[in-house]
Structure 1
Amino acid sequence: MEPVSILFTQLREIARGTIEILPQLAVSLFVVLLTWGISKLAQSIIRKVLSSTGMRQSLKELFQLLTAIFVWVVGLMIAAVILFPGLTPASILAGLGIGSVAIGFAFKDVFENFLAGIIILFRREMRIGDHVECEGIEGKVTHIAIRESHIRQTDGQLVIVPNSILFKNPVVVRTDQDQRRVTVICGVAYDVDIDKARGVIEDAVKSCDTVITDDKPVQIFAQEFGSSSINFEVTWWTGSEPVDIRRSRDQVVAGVKRALDDAGIEIPFPYRTLTFKEPLPLEDRCSDAQDIAAE
């Protein structure tokens, strides 16, 4: 019977200890519920305060998240001190410090993307709706979150990019400005008057409605002596969206080709001249064919 009495004694001690901490447990639960309410209220206040600013939506959500985390950390610390009177805020902070180091090593990549996301959210150079290119990924930015960014490629595919990639590598923002410069190469034959060809090409480019001519010049430069043509570098300005670039290039190439044809200026294709060191024998196949037909 002695083991049974020991068991009952231990159960009584556990029950007595549980009853003794019931008031602290109730108060701790009340503090947790109060923390939940304060967290919701604080997020609502932050949302209303930031709604009148021109801040990005993702940045507003970040401030709401940080506010909620701060409120919950303080609330849980108070609840823990009430439930376990032996704890002190200093010991809790020390434990959090040691734990944060271990968690930091375990989730290094997660925290790296998190910090990179915060920095990216404060950037003004890359906005939602911009067309960007980074590490071979090119498309439209549709969402910027704390850990990752969403880029919709021109073929419709969605690429989820960790923010650390966008932070550590060069990012080309193609729509940072409303206008972009486009360049194509156009060749004319060697026997064509260069100044005449330049004028025809320039007039053709300026006649395109996708070409901006108000404050941006159309530039035509003779670039090089090609294998079968004099090559011109044709440069103009148009919209910065990818579809604007493709549409304008199509219109300019078609317009320049039409204008050169109308002016009688040849756009040559590559010629090849074959030189042999020794004379080649020639066969008169027409005569052979006639002889065979006569037979």
Structure 2
Amino acid sequence: MEKIIEKLEVWKEVFIKNIPNIAIAIVVLFIAYFASRGMNSIVNKTIGKKIRQKSVRDLVSRFASALTILVGLYLAMTVLKFDDTLKAIISAAGVSGIVIGLALQGTLSNTISGVVLSFRQNLNIGDWVETNGYSGEVMDINLNYFVIKEADNNMVIIPNKTILETPFKNYSLTTKMRISIECGVEYGADLEKVEALIKEVINSNFDQKKLGKNVEFYFTEFGDSSINFLCRFWIESENALERLKGKSNAIIKIKQAFDKENISIPFPMRTLEILPNQRLDIHQTEAKKVS
């Protein structure tokens, strides 16, 4: 009991002696707390224009806030002369961080990839992209995954790491898209007339002069039943769906123009000829099976 009382007396003396340091440490912690809240707000507003994803903004602002708190805690422990304790804590945190990092390697990789994707200028929510075999509108870039809404309204969720490591095509980076149409005409058609007709159809329905482009037309080969050609032109478009609509409209207009000018689009036909003897053999075979 006497030893306990002696120990308490020593602690009392140490406490009284360090009251000024304790007061300073408490003030430092209070300042760090309010500074962290201010830092959270400042960082959120600063990066709000560059990062549209709320989850990523919260992550960055919370990281800045936690860093402010840690700085305040370090100063407070230094004032209290807990240098040895602080070194022990930092050492333990370093070892623990390595273990946790190895255990959560995949999750941390996706999180870091999400932050990197959020800062990319060539990728934003609302863009129409094509990556990893999927094509659609970017709906969200979260901390762990990337969400694409396809043209058929299906949601595709892809890990951020996969997006960052795989090339992607962003249709929204340009307002122009080129469409290619392949078709064929009968061998008896006037090829010069066909070329002039298609160019007229495209120019009248898709203003190429406004886009600063020209219609490209090439006959490509002598096919089995037709002379094939390739037509390429440009449209104003920011996603693949508009490209499909433009191509569909062009095919309709070309077919209508061909029908009006009596230009045929041939298609392969196959004639099957069965000789009378072969028919007899077939009937005889079937009769044997029935008997």
TM-score grouping bracket, smaller chain normalisation: 0.7 to 0.9
Equivalence for 1:289 = none
Distance 1:232 1:119 in 2: 45
Contact residue 132 and residue 173 of structure 1 kept, 8 A: yes
Change in Cα spacing, 1:75 to 1:30, as seen in structure 2 (3 Å) is same
Amino acid at match of 2:108: F
Question: Which of 158, 162, 171 pairs up with 2:159?
Answer: 162
TM-score of the aligned structures, taking structure 1 as reference length: 0.76
- What fraction of aligned residue pairs are identical, expressed as a percent? 26
Q: In the alignment, what sits opposite 2:52?
A: 57
Cα distance in structure 2, aligned partners of 1:39 and 1:243? 46
Q: Distance in 1 between matches of 2:117 and 2:228?
A: 43
Choose between structure 1 and 2: higher helix proportion.
Answer: 2
- Counterpart for residue 110 of structure 1: 107
Residues 175 and 238 of structure 2 are in contact (CA less than 8 Å); yes or no, is this contact kept in structure 1? yes
* 8 Å Cα contact 2:151/2:241 also seen in 1: no
1:251 partner amino acid? N
What is the alpha-carbon distance in structure 2 between the residues aligned to residue 191 and residue 270 of structure 1?
16
More deviation in 247-256 or 56-65? 56-65
Q: Which of residues 249, 252, 255 in structure 2 aligns to 1:251?
A: 249
Unaligned runs of 5+ in 1: 284-295
Separation (CA, whole Å) in 2 of partners of 1:49 and 1:135? 33
C-alpha contact (below 8 Å) 1:117/1:147 kept by paired residues: yes
**Contact 1:113/1:147 (CA < 8 Å) preserved in 2?**
yes
Query: Are 2:201 and 2:253, in contact at CA under 8 Å, matched by a contact in 1?
Result: yes
Cα distance change of structure 1 residues 77 and 138 upon mapping to structure 2, 3 Å threshold: farther
Please tell me the residue identity of whatever aligns with 1:173: N
2:70 aligns with one of 61, 70, 73: 73
Q: Give the secondary structure class of the aligned counterpart of 1:66.
A: helix
In the other structure, the counterpart of 1:85 is: 82
Listed as ranges, the gaps of 5+ residues in structure 2 are 280-291
TM-score by length of 2: 0.77
1:150 Cα deviation from its structure 2 partner: 2.4
Give 1:62 shift. 5.2
- 1:145 is aligned to 2:145: no
Q: Specify the alignment match of 1:134 in structure 2.
A: 131
Partner of 2:289: none
**Range with greater deviation from structure 2 (125-134 or 87-96):** 87-96
Equivalent-residue separation in structure 1 for 2:232 and 2:159 (angstroms): 36
Deviation, structure 1 residue 65: 3.3
Cα drift, residue 245 of structure 1 = 1.2
RMSD after superposition: 3.6
